[in-house]
Amino acid sequence: MLPVALIPAYKPSASLVDIVRELNASGVFQAIVCVDDGSGPEYRHLFDELCGLGVTVLRHATNLGKGSALKTGINHVAVQYPEAVGAVTLDADGQHLAKDCVAVARALAGNGRQLVLGVRRFDAADVPFRSRFGNAATRYVTRFFSGVDVADTQTGLRGIPSFLFPALLKLKSGGYDFELDMLMTACEQRVPLLQVPIETVYLDNNASSSFNPFWDSVKIYMVFLRFNLSALLTFAIDYFVFGVMFAFSSSVGLGIVFARLCAGAFNYMVNREIVFRSTRRHVETLVLYVLTVILMGSIAYVSITALADVTGVSVYVAKIFTECVLFLFSFVIQREFIFTKQSEAQATPRATDWCAYYDARSTFSSITSAVAFASFRKDMVQFAPGMKHLVELGGANSIFYDRFRARFPEAHLCLVDKCPPTRAFAEKIAPDKGTSYLQADVLADDLAQHRESADCVVSFGLIEHFDEEGTATLIARHFSLVKPGGIVYISFPTPTRLYRATRWLLEFIGKWPFHDERPLGFGEVLRTAGQYGTVVKQGMSYRLGLTQGIVVVRKHV
């Protein structure tokens, strides 16, 4: 859906009316919202004119600050326009041209999963010094603390995706610092930034701006203070414990070990929960943090002893110098690799790219298929010895094909998957008159032509890639395709400790392709399957670490 234009206004310029007319005429906004941030009665006529143009005007009784005005507007957009892709914010002083607002709006509507920034150029001669200096300083500080190079950190022209609204509404900042806090929040949540060049406009040397170069700069840099405060407190604890231990033992190594243990415990919790606000699991962050502490401690030991021996300075001075240098490296490591935070988009696991998975199947998947088919073959001998027609759901590029043909040479095999078969697999099954391939969505498409046609319907690792409703629907789909008295065989991962440990290891090394996999308990599967037949087997396979639940059900006659 189209975005909403959002204008925080404190004593706006008369040109705002003309800009609103252009925004209305552009057709790229579904609504325009303006927040009167306590401008006073002398500006009432201007806001009334905006109302006449169809603008929704929200009012503050007194001036609360630009951040508070933005949050008021964001909350209104979230409540009244929940289908909107987001909000495009622009300033009310005439510095943002309508054409640039439209460009940002189109960029936001074209993606909807990134924060769009309308960035100005600051190398022109007519740019006021306070704007050029303030942006340059904030840009370099932002680059260090967030790891992202933003050309214009103080731009008010932004396309904010709607999924970011809840996080922004919880921010405590209420002035110009809110916009920098927004950048830091987006970086923490790994929200991509798209920077769109816009025209640089300063009217009367930026005299209309309500930005106070001193106090508002202080507020902006207070956003960064929380990132340093943890380090300062940690250093104080570390230095105190080190000093006490070194005074008693005269051992640099012993002092560093005890100091790192005490300071590290404090630093880990503060950095995880307050500074970086990480959403990674403790087991991941703790392992990486401990390894970093060991690495930094080892470097500190070598550096302190070497510096003290070579220069003759005291160990205490050498430690201060060494720790100041290591702080920069430690910060970057913690920010980039340890205390990461998922964005809203990432928090909802992306769908597995099955077609890419089939095209690049690994040796490991061939091993798992052999193990899975061994269990399936054993169960079919027991429960469906005379099977003549089998349907495999989710069977693109079926890794069971060769084994199935060897064990059931006379049976007809129907493979159903939304992905097309690879060229090699299509060529393999082409001469086989007993195998058919149906390219269809196993959940959404109508498979009525195959209704109650199979002696057995099977799926391996399929039903766990949907939400609860989708899983229940897909289980029911199995039974719609099998004959009365036929067998439904479903294999799915279960949330055992062994499964979680194996999956964590594969995710940790970047070898886990099933991002939306949802391990299932037997209760969820049997609630649906039990409605259609009699459970003849319920078991577990602990092979290979990825524990699989197996349910075999005979459909009611």
Q: Got the DSSP string for 281-325? A: -HHHHHHHHHHHHHHHHHHHHHHHHHHHHHH---HHHHHHHHHHH
Q: What is the structure's pLDDT at 506?
A: 76
Q: What is the structure's pLDDT at 145?
A: 57
Q: What is the structure's pLDDT at 372?
A: 75
Q: What is the structure's pLDDT at 408?
A: 83
What is the distance in angstroms between the CA of the first residue and the CA of the last residue of the chain? 49
Q: What is the structure's pLDDT at 146?
A: 56
Q: What is the structure's pLDDT at 1?
A: 79
Tokens 């203070």 found at: 225
Q: Which fold has domain 4-213?
A: Spore Coat Polysaccharide Biosynthesis Protein SpsA; Chain A (3.90.550)
Q: To which CATH superfamily is domain 354-555 assigned?
A: Vaccinia Virus protein VP39 (3.40.50.150)
Strands (E), 56-122: 56-60, 86-89, 115-119
Q: Both tokens of residue 410?
A: 């006379």
Phi, psi at residue 285, to the nearest 5°?
-65, -35
pLDDT digits (tens, 9 = 90+) for 97-132: 999 999 999 999 988 889 999 998 755 555 555 555
The most distant pair of C-alpha atoms in the chain lies apart, rounded to whole Å, by 91
Phi, psi at residue 489, to the nearest 5°?
-120, 120
> 301 near 253, Cβ under 8 Å?
yes
Identity of the amino acid at 141: V
pLDDT digits (tens, 9 = 90+) for 182-205: 887 887 777 888 999 998 765 444
Q: What is the structure's pLDDT at 346?
A: 46
Residues 6 or more apart whose CB falls under 8 angstroms from that of 382 comprise none
Continuous segment of H or E residues that includes residue 536: strand 533-541
Q: What is the structure's pLDDT at 138?
A: 63
Tens of pLDDT along the chain (557 residues)?
799 999 999 999 999 999 999 999 999 999 999 999 999 999 999 999 999 999 999 999 999 999 999 999 999 999 999 999 999 999 998 889 999 999 999 999 988 889 999 998 755 555 555 555 556 666 666 665 555 678 777 789 999 999 999 999 998 888 877 887 888 788 777 788 899 999 876 544 444 444 444 454 555 455 456 556 777 788 889 889 999 999 999 898 999 899 888 988 888 887 776 666 666 777 778 888 899 889 998 999 999 999 999 999 999 999 999 988 887 788 778 766 787 655 444 445 566 766 766 665 554 556 666 777 788 888 888 998 888 999 999 877 666 788 888 888 888 999 998 888 888 888 889 999 999 999 888 888 878 778 888 999 999 889 999 989 999 999 999 999 999 999 999 999 998 888 888 887 777 666 777 878 899 999 999 999 999 999 999 988 876 556 789 999 999 98
Distance CA 89, CA 101 (A): 8
Distance CA 160, CA 117 (A): 9
Distance CA 245, CA 258 (A): 8
Q: What is the structure's pLDDT at 224?
A: 54
Burial class (CB in 10 A: 0-12, 13-18, 19+), 160: buried
Domain limits, the chain: 4-213, 224-346, 354-555
Q: What is the structure's pLDDT at 275?
A: 62
